[in-house]
Structure 1
Amino acid sequence: MLAEHFDVVWVEGELSNLATPTSGHLYFTLKDADAQVRCALFRQQARYLCFRPENGMQVLARAQVSLYEPRGDYQLVVESLEQAGDGALQRAFEALKKKLAAEGLFDATRKRPIPRLPNRIGVITSPTGAAVRDIVTVLKRRFPAIAVTILPVKVQGTEAKFEIVKAIQAADRSGLCDVLILARGGGSLEDLWAFNEELSPAPSYACETPVITGVGHEIDLTI
């Protein structure tokens, strides 16, 4: 009755009570702040794991709802297990990078030459973040005669990617700027995700105006 009613479910939680007997099966508990559920990942499925499960790890399980009759325990029989949060995001990032590279979006021959002495620089970023202050300070120090136009956008959250695309396209159509800088400060992979979605690189690739990106800290890498 449980299997018929629930079919396949996706459950996210923290791994705990992980047991790895010699049989190759994995037994563990998925928990959050309010609840927990016993889980079993059998050897046939466990061999397809691309990471080593550990207690405390946040995971996403695809499972069948079941009952272990000998103990009368409701449990999840896990069919696949993947890392949640940054782990899942990192895999999505790598997959998209590979796809876009195959389409030629990272081809160095597509890079636009940057003018040696631009008349106007457009800066696409949050008007209140640290990045815009740093950029303006450096530009004033190095060549204060160059005009700077701030094109304000959100740089985090679900609406950010749409605002960034519109700003790049509008600046390119206007022809007012000789070069564009797309920038934001550092953050987690999730914070920077607006720059890692498939919509993000297309307008820069099609833009006739050269676009320079400065997203995150030196160690951060975005699409």
Structure 2
Amino acid sequence: MDKKIYTVSRLNQEVQKLLESGFGTLWLQGELSNFSRPSSGHYYFSLKDSQAQIRCAMFKGRNRFLDFRPESGDAVVVRGKLGLYAARGDYQLIVEHMEPAGAGKLQAAFEATKRELDKRGWFDQENKQPLPALPQTIGVVTSPTGAALRDVLHVLARRYRQADIIIYPTLTQGASAAPAIVRALQTANRRAETDVLLLVRGGGSLEDLWAFNEVAVAEAIRNSRIPVVAGIGHEVDISISDLVADLRAPTPSAAAELATPDTSSLQHRLSSTTRRLHRAALGRLGSSQQRLSQQVARLQLRHPQRRLNEQLQRADELEMRLARAWQSRLQRHQSRLQGLRASLDAHSPAMQLTRHQARWQALDSRLNVAMSSRQTFARSRFELLARALHGVSPLAVLDRGYALVMAKGKLVTQASSLAPGDEISARFSKGEISAIVKSGNTSEQ
């Protein structure tokens, strides 16, 4: 009997072919588990239900098209093909597409819209309009057949009957609900016949309330010139319309309560205000009477004759003060004038010329004295130097009988420097002669 023996690699290849051809592309729903994002950008995770799980891989070329960020614990629906990871011999699902499952998808869309509008500043408190304290006309945007309208009307009848109520009927569920709500809000703003708008709807699932998460409805609320109070669903339900509205109420009934004051409270406030007004009127009357008495007393004190006498006395005082001030000012000006005259005299050209002449004469006298002294000193010094010069002068030596002998323009100091026949000249103290050397004696004495 022949044995058909496989290698492990071949077996895995055959199994992989069977998996890929036997199932093809399939859709699978479950919960994400062990979700990881390595640096390669691929997604690796397990998809499980209450009894089993399967390993999955979603490569970077596919997961970059996702419009949400998957995490472990998310319920999702995936599309892919079965394959085999030969290295471990594990079969796995190669995911090509992923989307949130059921309500999870709507919740992801809600979160995405919420993030986008929050970036635009549509939820900022500074953009909210204040509600009127005593609205005269209240508009209700809701379904005319819903329980929310009955709840609102019941609350208004109990709390605030004096207000007029205008209903703007609209769909609140389904594909046509969002455009209908937008038209109702726009109609209310165009007519401008209400002081506040209540946008209300009873509770329901996320799918039932989805119209209030549409961006078009949020934009209509934001553009409303009339303040909008949103009361959509139950207290746990929060919609985009709740966040954009000027005020959010947990329920439709609460929206009616928040938009209106309580009649009994108003009556209490009215009674209290009446009593306060009465007390204020009595206090004001007493104050006015006291003030009148004070004014009469002041009027008597301010009698025209009294005031005239005071004014006359003040005029006399001012006249005396003026005379003293004028006299004081005149004295100051006279004193200043005298000072200026003295200063002018001191700086007049004649005085300056006199001072300059005296200074010039003094300088001239000092110059003459200095020149005479300088000349005397120079003459004495010259005579002294002349005598000293004469003492060392060759001419003085000549006067004692000596002569200067010159040969060929040079002074002769030794007889040996002359030869017979040389022409010489001899200079005496008085006069000069020329001679010719006949003989000489060169021996030293």
Tell me what 2:336 maps to: none
Question: Cα RMSD between the aligned structures?
Answer: 3.5
By relative contact order (CA 8 Å, sep 6+), the higher-ranking structure is 1
**Residue 82 of structure 1: how far off its partner (Å):** 3.7
| 4+ residue runs over 4 A deviation | 43-46, 65-68
**Residue 184 of structure 1: how far off its partner (Å):** 0.2
Q: Is the 8 A contact 1:10 1:60 kept in 2?
A: no
* Separation (CA, whole Å) in 2 of partners of 1:109 and 1:19: 42
Tell me what 1:50 maps to: 71
Matching of residues 6-155 of structure 1 within 5 Å? 11=27, 14-15=29-30, 26=46, 41-42=56-57, 49-52=70-73, 59-63=76-80, 65=81, 77-155=94-172
**Residue 51 of structure 1: how far off its partner (Å):** 2.8
- Give the direction of change, closer, same or farther, for the CA distance of 1:19–1:167 in structure 2 (3 Å limit): closer
Tell me what 2:345 maps to: none
* Separation (CA, whole Å) in 1 of partners of 2:127 and 2:204: 29
**Residue 85 of structure 1: how far off its partner (Å):** 1.2
Matched residue of 1:156: which SS? coil
* Separation (CA, whole Å) in 2 of partners of 1:99 and 1:27: 30
Matched residue of 2:112: which SS? helix
Tell me what 1:33 maps to: none
Give the gaps of 5 or more residues in structure 2.
1-19, 35-43, 64-68, 87-91, 241-445
Tell me what 2:434 maps to: none
TM-score, normalised with respect to structure 1: 0.75
- Give the direction of change, closer, same or farther, for the CA distance of 1:77–1:148 in structure 2 (3 Å limit): same
Tell me what 2:177 maps to: 160
Task: State the Cα deviation string for residues 132-158 of structure 1 (Å, max 9, x = none).
Answer: 000000001011111111111111111
Q: 1:208 aligns with which of 225, 228, 235?
A: 225
Q: 1:186 aligns with which of 183, 192, 203?
A: 203
Tell me what 2:278 maps to: none
Give the gaps of 5 or more residues in structure 1.
4-8, 30-38
| Higher share of residues assigned strand | 1
TM-score, normalised with respect to structure 2: 0.39
- Give the direction of change, closer, same or farther, for the CA distance of 1:41–1:208 in structure 2 (3 Å limit): same
Matched residue of 1:199: which SS? helix
* Separation (CA, whole Å) in 1 of partners of 2:72 and 2:33: 16
